[in-house]
Amino acid sequence: MHLIALGMNHRTAPVEVREKLAFSSGMMQSVVTDLKGFPSVGGFIVLSTCNRTEIYASVLRVQDGTCDLKRYLCGLAQLSEDEVSRYFHVWRCEEVVEHLFCVAAGLDSMILGETEIQGQVIDAYQYACSMKTSDKILNTLFQDAIRFGKRFRSQTAIDQHPVSVSYAAVELARSVFGNLSDCTVLIIGAGEMGELALKHLIARGVKTVLVSNRSYARACNIAQEYGGEAIRYDHFLTRLDKSDIVIGCTAAAHFVIHAEKVRQVMAKGRQRPLFFIDIAVPRDIDPAVKEIPGVILYNIDDLEEVVLEGMQERRKAALEAEGMLLEAVGEFLNWASALTVVPTIRALQQKGNEIMEEELRRCFNRLGETDPRTEKVIKSMAYSIVNKLLHTPTMRLKEYASRGDGQVYGEMLEDFFGVRLE
């Protein structure tokens, strides 16, 4: 069997094309049922996320399997031949292994090193197992890819470098407060970036959340979702003195927090820093607050610098991982190459066992009645002779297979020993 993968992702196709092949959970079951009926396809696993839809398959003939899967996906997405050639990508044999390992490690993601994709690869594999569409080679491929992704992240810590404004804000907060579990967060303006920052903060241990928004209903929804407290927009300034981290992300055309108000808060003998994160454009927080002792302010430009540094660090980690990737891919390919000669090895062992059984029958017929101990010794000796005779040829065959010469030497052994594969 040979490995192939085909589909489209954020590198090969724009979102308006990718969304045509975004499989919902209900649609996935229908796709699996259809693919099970393809005689050219052995096992298969479908990986479908917002940024990619790819089918990994084991096939008897690469050309047949590729054509059938491509034709099916094209019909499903209603793409023209021109669109297919422009947006689809096909990986074959060794390319499949390297590609999936990169995908699982986040090295092929839009955000380099992101962790969500690893969970999506695991989900795709587990779903295939539950639907009984995977096979031995795909099982090992996905298990090795998942293992490589985990090892890559643990050894390079690539995901510790912030690459989004929201994540950068949280990492800066950690650098100020250390443990965030005792911090109170006030978020002003419940927009997408603010909510994302809130998610990261809660993931890092924040337990007390105050949410204020011009729409009080929206503030209540966000507060309920994250276990926080909704504050009416015209009252949020009264909670500054109880807050440790303040995130500004409104759409206001003017400052909503002025330096004088912050100065009053800090004049009350506050012992902890007051950390402002201004991710609004136009800015929410008067930049003059930076001059007040005990106050820290980062705006969108400051955070972008942190993001740029994070991306550079992630690229370094990715470059350092090239050796790890080559090693992991090589180990899988050696294992997969050895699979090609397994039928030959089994045929040799069967031939040896058949000869052994026939000769043992002749031996015991000539000897006549023998005691159990003698019979056991003779059988053990015959078994040992066959195993030792076949040991070196089978080991050499596996060695040649790992170098890509398994088929040639396998056919030679089949000829020498007079075995025929079914």
Q: Is 114 known to sit in a ligand binding site? A: yes
> Got the DSSP string for 276-335?
EEE--SS-SB-GGGGGSTTEEEEEHHHHHHHHHHHHHHHHHHHHHTHHHHHHHHHHHHHH
Please confirm whether the linkage preceding 282 is cis (ω < 30° from 0).
yes
- Catalytic status, residue 74: no
Q: Is 193 known to sit in a ligand binding site? A: yes
Q: Is 81 known to sit in a ligand binding site? A: no
Q: Is 26 known to sit in a ligand binding site? A: no
| Rounded (10°) CA dihedral 201, 202, 205, 209 | 90
Q: Which two tokens stand for residue 278?
A: 């201004």
Q: Is 229 known to sit in a ligand binding site? A: no
Q: Is 50 known to sit in a ligand binding site? A: yes
Q: Is 249 known to sit in a ligand binding site? A: no
Q: Is 227 known to sit in a ligand binding site? A: no
Instruction: Go through the chain and tell me how many residues it has.
Output: 422
User: In whole angstroms, what is the distance from residue 20 CA to residue 17 CA?
Assistant: 6
Q: Is 212 known to sit in a ligand binding site? A: no
Q: Is 115 known to sit in a ligand binding site? A: yes
Helix axis angle, 136-156 to 116-130, nearest 10°: 160
User: In whole angstroms, what is the distance from residue 360 CA to residue 363 CA?
Assistant: 5
Q: Is 120 known to sit in a ligand binding site? A: yes
* Closest listed residue to residue 272, CA positions, set 197, 202, 173: 173
Q: State which amino acid sits at residue 347.
A: A
Strand order in the sheet with 52-59: 41-48, 52-59, 2-9, 89-92
- Catalytic pick among 50, 93, 102, 220: 50
Which residues fall in the annotated binding site? 49-52, 109, 114-116, 120, 189-194
Which residues are tagged catalytic? 50
Which residues fall in the annotated binding site for substrate? 49-52, 109, 114-116, 120
Which residues fall in the annotated binding site for NADP(+)? 189-194
